Amino acid sequence: MQPSLIIHGGAWDIPDDAVDACKSGCLSALRAGWKILKSGGHALDAIEAAIIVLEDDPVFDSGFGSHLTMDGRVECDAIVMDAATLRAGAVAGLRRVKNPIQAARAVLEKCPHMMLISEGAEHFAAAHGVQLCDPRDLISPAEREAWLRCSKDSHAAQNHRGHEQGTVGAVALDGHGRLFAATSTGGTCCKLPGRVGDSPLIGCGCYADRETGGVSSTGYGEAIMRVVMAKTAADFLRPAGSTPARAAQAAVELLANRGHGTGGLIVLDKNGKPGFAFNTPRMALGYVNEESSFFASV
Ligand code: ASP
């Protein structure tokens, strides 16, 4: 079976001066994931490797460089899902985990539950070998400055414009037919402490089912939750004649019309065909095409 990989770095009004950095971050993530897939590796290892590259890159809102909460901290959420078993590992409200995707993977592989939050999730992750960090190590200078600007004006929504890079996600199918999807985020800018969006919620920020395909969502989480966007998009792959591009487009239309929100999603169907759609000014994404060439766009 031919492996396949698609990744994203968020759908928002990504500012002009971040476009090149987002594109090169997407290409680096593709390289990291593809290296594993093309040598016969596991889809779970490939998406973890791709997401770690994106989490470590401060141009994206996940891991280092996450948006700050109203009280000036980073709180990360992440999920990874196995299309074969419909099991997910999800974590929310992490303040001390350098790479939240690793905590999500630990939950997927080693926990009887599917979702852990805050200190409980951090303790579980640390007990299973995931690296913890000082919470301040997740704060990038750019996000700190943006937060200071916001806080001078009561965190008014218009102050968030101009640093709207987003959540990251990946879906991979490996040569053995194993399909996994994942999403990792710092959430929305100046969110209330304790707020959890769509990203770590099964069916909202991420879904994977071997009968349909894998999906990772991004955008305004409260709207994505209203339409359970990732599961809905996966179900849009069921009818004969559907394509990943059309399923993604239908999900974004539902997000706009019923969820009254903006965002985007990446889709990989069960055969590894990629698709995406967004109703924001820009979305950062990349995939490996049938000729094994990398494509990235912002
Ligand atoms: N969906 C994420 C959230 O609401 C944010 C994003 O995708 O950029 O937490």
- Give the separation between CA 199 and CA 197, rounded to whole angstroms: 6
Determine how β-strand 294-297 pairs with β-strand 115-117: unpaired
Task: Report the CATH number at residue 195.
Answer: 3.60.20.30
Ligand 1 pocket, 186 CB below 6 A? no
Ligand 1 atom index nearest CA of 196: 9
Which of 198, 225, 252 to probe ligand 1 with, by most ligand atoms within 8 A of CB? 198
Residue pLDDT, tens place only, 158-177: 666 555 668 999 999 999 99
Structural element, H or E, at residue 274: strand 274-278
At 249, list the tokens: 């487009």
Alpha helices for the chain (secondary structure H)? 19-38, 43-56, 100-110, 118-127, 141-151, 221-226, 229-235, 244-257
Give residue for tokens 């959540």.
Answer: 167
Residue pLDDT, tens place only, 105-115: 999 999 999 99
- Give the separation between CA 84 and CA 44, rounded to whole angstroms: 12
Ligand 1 atom index nearest CA of 205: 1
Q: Can 232 be counted among the known catalytic residues?
A: no
Total number of domains constituting the chain: 1
∠ at Cα 285 (191, 106), nearest 5°?
Answer: 65
Ligand 1 pocket, 198 CB below 6 A? yes
Say if residues 5 and 50 touch (Cβ distance below 8 Å): yes
Q: Which amino acid is at 68?
A: L
Ligand 1 pocket, 166 CB below 6 A? yes
Instruction: Give me the domain span that covers residue 33.
Output: 4-297
CA torsion angle 12 48 44 204 (round to 10): -30
Which of 67, 161, 163, 188 to probe ligand 1 with, by most ligand atoms within 8 A of CB? 188
Q: What's the gap in Å between 38 CA and the centre of ligand 1?
A: 30
- Give the separation between CA 251 and CA 275, rounded to whole angstroms: 12
At 146, list the tokens: 């943006």
List the pLDDT tens digit at each of the 298 positions of the chain.
899 999 999 998 888 989 999 999 999 999 999 999 999 999 999 999 999 999 999 999 999 999 999 999 999 999 999 999 999 999 999 999 999 999 999 999 999 999 999 999 999 999 999 999 999 999 999 999 989 988 887 666 666 655 566 899 999 999 999 999 999 999 998 899 999 999 999 999 999 999 999 999 999 999 999 999 999 999 999 999 999 999 999 999 999 999 999 999 999 999 999 999 999 999 999 999 888 899 999 9
